[in-house]
Amino acid sequence: MKYRTLGRTNLRVSDIGFGAWGIGGSMWIGARDEESVRALERAIGGGLNFIDTALAYGDGHSEQVVGGVVKRHPELIVATKVPPKNLVWPARPGVPIDRVFPYDYIIARTEQSLKNLGMETVHLQQLHVWSPEWIGADDWRRAAEKLKRDGKVRFFGISVNDHQPESVMEVLRTGLIDVIQVIYNIFDQSPEDALLGLCEELNIGVIARVPFDEGSLTGNIRPDTTFPPGDWRHGYFAGDRKRQVWERIEKLRPLVEPHAAGLADAALRFCLSHPAVSTVIPGIRTVKHAEENCASSDRGPLPPQLLQELRKHRWVRNFYD
């Protein structure tokens, strides 16, 4: 496992992190705590030291599972998130911050996360959505400052709205944000346009999320793939989206196979090929996934010529709508 510095936090994080949404037990059908813990332990045994969770993942269940593992591995670096009070993802234009992140709410939700995790201090707290309209608001600023001052959080960040990397450009220049988390993968290369360069300039840590495009870039989503009732991917891959994905994946396979252990390996290493990225957080729910994903770290960035070819496969669309 290789390690990188998480921006100006100076935290040394494994370049493959553990995305803990799926172990929350809701929206992702089939998650079992016993297997989740085994996956976490296997990943840690492979050198992984960074876990990203959120209070919204299973209404705190993901944090509780992570917290049980942290008791045995206090060296782990943990990030979590404050859910929007109105429970709307992503943030909508025109909605004031007092309906989403009022001061007292940020404090209370952070304390709930600390209780779930069994930690006195969490390394990174993030706002789970963001609107550029809130940049001048006082609530989130005062809350971030108080949480740091009281020793509840070490660093503060933002989880960027789906496919909207430009929405945080202005707030990063305030100096109040230490880390951002953003969708970045072979299909959504939009962070490269401006955001990643700004993060390098300001020494802001970058967590790359959704490296597999919710599963499509693993190569396992076929036109006839089905998801059980209650699994949120049933909507994400609704209509003819599975066919669209499959057609694009079939064009990627011959490009990456000579250079990678598979599509998933190529997807992770694509993210790690950009120097601004501190860590990439694939969703991990099984021991098999933990082993495969951690192995990508040692293989390093993709060859420059392959990266140039992958630039042609940028796909502008939003399946979250």
pLDDT at res. 25: 75
Asked whether the beta carbons of 172 and 180 are under 8 A apart, the reply is yes
Q: For residues 182-200, b (16+ Cβ closer than 10 Å) or e, as one string?
A: bbbbbbbbbbeeebbebbe
Q: What pLDDT is stored for residue 31 in this prediction?
A: 75
Tell me, what amino acid is at 316?
V
Domain assignment present for 205: yes
Alpha-carbon gap, residue 251 to 120, rounded angstroms = 48
Which one, of 172, 163, 162, lies nearest residue 197 by Cα? 172
135 assigned to some structural domain: yes
Cα separation of 284 and 253, whole Å?
A: 22
Length of the chain: 321
In tens digits, the chain (321 residues) has pLDDT values of 999 999 999 999 999 999 999 998 766 666 789 999 999 999 999 999 999 999 999 999 999 999 999 999 999 999 999 999 999 999 999 999 999 999 999 999 999 999 999 999 999 999 999 999 999 999 999 999 999 999 999 999 999 999 999 999 999 999 999 999 999 999 999 999 999 999 999 999 999 999 999 999 999 999 999 988 788 888 899 999 999 999 999 999 999 999 999 999 999 999 999 999 999 999 999 999 999 999 999 999 999 999 999 999 999 999 998
Q: Give domain status of residue 318, yes or no.
A: no
Dihedral angle computed from the Cα positions of residues 14, 15, 19 and 20, in that order, rounded to the nearest 10 degrees: 0
Name the domain count of the chain: 1
Whether residue 144 lies inside any domain: the answer is yes
In a domain, 320, yes or no: no
Q: Rounded to an integer, what distance in angstroms lies between the CA atom of residue 229 and that of residue 226? A: 9
Q: Answer yes or no: is 225 within a domain.
A: yes
Q: What are phi and psi of 79, to 5 degrees?
A: -120, 145
Task: Give the domain range for residue 262.
Answer: 3-313
Dig out the tokens for 154 from the structure: 């070490």
Residue 173 is predicted with a pLDDT of: 95
According to DSSP, the residues that pair with 279 across neighbouring strands are 207
pLDDT score for 93: 94
Written as six digits, the tokens of 159 are 């989880």
The CATH number for 278's domain is: 3.20.20.100
321 domain-assigned: no
Residue 293 and residue 282 in contact, taking contact as beta carbons nearer than 8 Å:
yes
pTM of the model: 0.97
Burial (0-12, 13-18, 19+ Cβ within 10 Å), 231: middle
Beta bridge partners of 19: 52, 283
- Residue 199 and residue 9 in contact, taking contact as beta carbons nearer than 8 Å: no
What residues pair up with 280 in beta bridges, in sequence order?
A: 16, 208
pLDDT reported for residue 229: 78
* Rounded to 5°, angle at Cα 276 from 160 and 264: 80
* 193 in a structural domain: yes
